[in-house]
Homo-oligomer: A and B are copies of this chain.
């Protein structure tokens, strides 16, 4: 793929304004922090979008020019309009990558793509380790056997998702839990990656390994675009006879 990967980083963008703690860690928002890293990488361009933008910043025109959508939300999932969720789902099934972060597990779009509750257990403030269980997967590129975060919100099993098509990372928490923390899904012509770390009160998105995984996930979920998808008309033709 000679062209650049066009990433739209979507953020609820409320905590940063309502909480001093969050505002100090992410003064311009979680989305801006992630985008600042991504746009320094070869072959990636970024755009920001937020809940309070018109159409949540996700117009048809924006989605059409988006190869990978990154999603962070937490307390306002219910404010995302169903018609925008429909639109994002269609675009994912049509080939756009989707990277869902942390509390985005409860977003309408992730629940929609999974078909399950996406429920889990949680608790504040454990030490966390993320173990690579698929060392030949592109999303594990450049990682060691594991990486650590000194503090991260605990997310624990049972995580109510379909079994991932590929499981890349398993999280360990000092309080006694485990989690499928890095999960790959193929849906339609699109690819989805769920990545568990990222609590808003912690500087998770300034961590080098976390940013590396997100960057790898952008490249992996975008890779369907390079796979000739656009050239060939492999779309199902429903309810009509073929010529």
Q: Which A residues are within 8 Å of any B CB, using their own CB?
A: 89, 93, 95, 106, 112-117, 119-123, 129, 131-138, 140-146, 156-160, 162-163, 165-167, 170-173, 176-178, 180, 185-191, 223-224, 226-229, 231-239, 241-242
Contacts and interface: CB of A to CB of B under 8 A. Distances in A.
Contact of A227 (B119, B137, B180, B188): B137
Q: What does DSSP make chain A's interface, helix, strand, loop or mixed? A: loop
B191 A228 contact: no
B177 A234 contact: no
Given A146-B157, A162-B165, A163-B186, 20 more contacts: A119-B236, A121-B237, A132-B234, A133-B159, A133-B180, A135-B232, A135-B234, A136-B227, A138-B226, A138-B227, A141-B227, A141-B229, A142-B228, A142-B231, A142-B232, A144-B233, A145-B157, A145-B234, A158-B236, A172-B177
Given A144-B233, A158-B236, A165-B163, A178 B172 contact: yes
Contacts of A93: 116-117, 160
Nearest to A238: B119
Contact of A162 (B122, B123, B187, B236): B187
Given A114-B115, A162-B162, A166-B165, A136 B238 contact: no
Shortest beta-carbon contacts, A-B, top 7:
A141-B228, A119-B236, A142-B228, A136-B224, A141-B227, A113-B115, A145-B234
Contacts of A165: 162-163, 166
A170 to B, nearest CB: 5
